[in-house]
Structure 1
Amino acid sequence: MGTSKSCKSEELCTELLESQTGDTSTGSVIQTLRLQVFGVLHWVVSLGLILAIDFLLKKAFVAASIEFPSALFGMFCIFSVLIILDCAIPSAAVALMKFFEPGIMFIQRWLPLFYVPYLVVLPLSLKDIPPSSAIKICFIVVGGWLATLCVTGMTAIGVRKAVKTELIDAEPMEKPSPFSSIELWAWTGIFLISFVASLVYPTALGTRARTYLPFLLASTVLGYMIGSGLPSSVKKVLHPIIFCAASAEVTAVVFGFLSKSGLDPVLGYYLTNSSSDPGAGDILMGFLGSVILSFAFSMFKQRKLVKRHAAEIFTSVIISTLFSLYSTALVGRLVALEPSLTVSILPRCITVALALSIVSFFEGANASVTAAAVVVTGLVGANFVQATLDKLRLRDPIARGIATASSCHGLGTAALSAKEPEALPFCAIAYGLTGIFGSILCSIPVVRQSLLAVIG
């Protein structure tokens, strides 16, 4: 899905070339090609290692019948290794961070795409859900987002006043590179060729899922690229992830019509939940574990900030997570929402990568509804979080960052940090910690039983 160039990788490569050739000119074609090749190899190796770690951890946890999310364990391990190296050999910790930077930037660049698959196949999941239940879910998701935002923000302000810590500058966060015209045309070519080929030879790659994979994946990627390039005024109403999901949905509708197979079968091939016969959605979902692993690097980069403002961050995140889980369970019972659906939306304020792990602890949960509730929460937050925080008169960047990430995870974080970069470090920290604490809580049998008791 394209590569994000790492400036540090190119600098390292340039220094290496200069030491070997003695030529300080970086404008030559040969050096440019070498830089590009080095950058691509660096990206492939760093991202490949992250994906390999996630894959091996999953296999090990399945073999050992461990229910705790394997990626979360891996995140703790990576963070611990970085902390130990930083204490013993600081240069080694910095080198490790630089090595994995291209892979981390790739994950950050395409992060919203990993939320999309369950949103695309939502029509299949909602077939058996009565309209009245869907309305109740929307009420809980929207109302719950606002309540969680208020509780978290006020908690952060209260603790901040109590501890009286001064705000210090955070470590700068590098932004992913924008999409190029080459990437756009390349994915367009893949889409057109594979779409026509699939109409003519629907089993050219062995199965329909594999054959449909290229054009369904391309339609999703193109939707995200185009949606990301829309004017900011449009993106306030039409978030890129909505455009992305709509692009894949429209493609499935058109292909279903032209192939006379209908929409449902095409969506079924989009997300098969089968490792032996994956669809486009399965490829995207395969990155969710790597997203969790990447939290370790973000937290390590902001370790000084975490230590200095630990009281505000941890207190707010803990209270926010508890409030979100138990208020969702309680309101679900009060509005008489089906218990299985209430369980499915419990982790509505937690990033989808961990929300899906959380609901796997509960029997009868609908993962598609979970993912959709998480995405809708993020979309609501992305569109309204800044205006709502202003109305609540929450001016402190610490409170704004923590409240945003704890109530509407990554999508809300992206929307706020684009205009308020000073809040980004606190968003990043709270974003990871909310999911971590929620996962730990729900992995405890007593907590799960208490939530089920509240749900009734």
Structure 2
Amino acid sequence: MALAPNNAALRHRLIAPNSTAGSGDAAATGGLPSVSARPPVVGIAHLAVSLGIVLATDKYLKQAFVAASIKFPSALFGMFCIFSVLLVLDTVAPALAKAFMDFFEPATLFIQRWLPLFYVPSLVVLPLAVRDVPAASGLKICLITFGGWFASLAVAGYTALTVRKIVKTELIAAEPMGKPSAFATLEFWAWGAVFVASFATAFVNPTALGTTARTCLPFMLASTVLGYMVGSGLPSGIKKLLHPIICCALSANLSAVAYGYLSGSGIDAALGDYLTKVPSNPGAGDVLMGFLGSVILSFAFSMFKQRKLVKRHAAEIFTSIAIASTFSLYSTAILGRLIGLEPTLTISILPRCITVALALSIVSFFEGANTSLTAAVVVLTGLIGANFVQAAMDKLGLNDPIARGIGTASSAHGLGTAALSAKEPEALPFCAIAYALTGIFGSLICSSPAVRQSLVFIAG
């Protein structure tokens, strides 16, 4: 039985047409079906209610876990609960499970559409985060990041291939993956108007909304969103050099520079207002990162949708992810020790291959970690994967869609997944599954005190 069938043939077999993605005026409702399917007002209300419930659930779980002094990621617990509820409903009342999925689909598509923005704040404030990091240490971190990404890709990909040869499970059709809509011209004009009006307001009266952070929030948020929209619309050749995430980070930084110069407050103050990490005085970056918990909750829906695929290929998926996640954490600690990187910096970059939302939860288990550096290294790893993962897998001989999907997501999380799915939709379901499970497995093993102590010991 062939283990690595032709990709073009698999694309026809595995990917069903998506009848709703990117249609009509869905851009105005965050990825909802077109106007012909539902009135715009109803679609917007559906999005607002479903997304509001997800955000409220994440906030409630955070507060409950803090009150109970529980260090385990609250969003991850919520994700397990949602997934369990869906499984139970699917067993006793399948129609109710489908209705549950359909109700939250606008929220999950919204999160998917804007996902890269939730990673951006760490890049925007990177100048502040790395100010105290010596240049030599910075070079070591870059070496670990690039070399570690390639090693993790190889380990995950070859593990998947090895297990595939053992189990010899034939690929089956995956559930169609919904795609968010493209950006509409109206959205550009709306966000542009927000930027101009709020920038002028902040310049005239820096405390018009009570604090400088709140006053700067609208135009800094608008500049970030506009940068992402522009970056997303660039030709594919330019995107290889200027990824949409870099584009929106540069846009936000330029806005901070302009405001700091014109207002006389300086770039440091402007960046400090962008990400305050103070709930009572949020900046634009705090608003964006406030969605990270919702990203984790949304994993429950994507995993449930592909539950049949997960069950059929459980051996390949879970074995590869377990080995690759463990390898990524421990290889990072070992490399940091070997090349003499400071232990606190090594600990900060341990979850380099795990999505930002869970990477930040993981480093919160350790004392003295630089969370801004953590997020920046995670994004850098994703950018490396987005640009080089296909060429690297071709060189490594990873031609099987399962190996390519798992290898990409296990080494470069969401950004690598997005880059691969654009050209290899047959690997997308495995990317989506591995993207979620890699972070989940990493969080679970790092919640063990024995694992944390061993990583700290190795890092020095």
Question: What TM-score, normalized by structure 1, do the two folds share?
Answer: 0.94
What is the deviation of 1:2? 5.5
Q: Is the 8 A contact 1:140 1:332 kept in 2?
A: yes
Partner secondary structure for residue 7 of structure 1: coil
Residue 23 of structure 1 corresponds to which residue in structure 2? Answer: none
Distance 1:258 1:71 in 2: 40
Distance 1:370 1:296 in 2: 25
Q: 1:92 aligns with which of 75, 92, 96?
A: 96
Structure 1: runs of 5 or more not aligned: 14-34
Q: Describe how 1:12-411 pairs up with structure 2 within 5 A.
A: 13=38, 35-411=39-415
SS in 2 for 1:142: helix
CA deviation profile, 1:162-214 (whole Å, cap 9, x unmatched): 00000111000011000000000100010011111111111100100000000
SS at match of 2:442: helix
SS for the counterpart of 1:230 is coil
Q: Provide the C-alpha distance between the structure 2 equivalents of 1:455 and 1:170, rounded to a whole number of angstroms.
A: 41
Aligned to 2:9: none
Secondary structure class of the residue paired with 2:340: coil
Identify if the C-alpha distance between structure 1 residues 143 and 259 changes in structure 2 by more than 3 Å, giving closer, same or farther.
Answer: same
Structure 2 residue aligned with 1:4, among 30, 35, 39?
30
Distance 1:5 1:377, change over 3 A: closer
For 1:210 and 1:258, the matched residues in 2 are separated by 18
Who is 1:436 aligned against? 440
How many residues are aligned here? 434
More off after superposition, 253-262 vs 104-113: 253-262
Tell me the TM-score normalized by structure 2.
0.93
| 1:3, distance to aligned residue in structure 2 (A) | 2.7
Q: SS at 1:127's partner residue?
A: coil
- Do 2:31 and 2:113's aligned partners in 1 also have CA atoms closer than 8 Å? no
Contact 1:227-1:244 within 8 A present in 2 as well: yes
Displacement of 1:7 after TM fit? 2.3
Deviations 1:119-178 (A, max 9, x none): 100100111000000000000000000000001100000000000000111000011000
1:253 shift after superposition? 0.8
Q: CA deviation at 1:5?
A: 4.1
Percent sequence identity is 70
Spell out, residue by residue over 1:69-110, the C-alpha distance to the aligned partner (whole angstroms, 9 max, x if none).
Answer: 000000000000000000110000000000000010000000
Q: Is 1:159–1:311's contact at 8 Å kept on the other side of the alignment?
A: yes
Supply the AA of the counterpart residue of 1:48.
G
- Measured against aligned partners, the alpha-carbon deviations of 1:15-70 in whole angstroms (never above 9, x if no partner) come to xxxxxxxxxxxxxxxxxxxx111101100000000001101101110111100000
CA distance in 2 between counterparts of 1:271 and 1:217 reads 11
Q: In the TM superposition, what whole-angstrom CA distance separates every residue of 1:393-446 from its partner, at most 9, and x where no partner exists?
A: 111000000000000000000000000011010000000000000001111000
Shift of 1:6: 2.1
Q: Distance in 1 between matches of 2:288 and 2:34?
A: 27
> Secondary structure of the residue that 1:128 maps to in structure 2?
coil
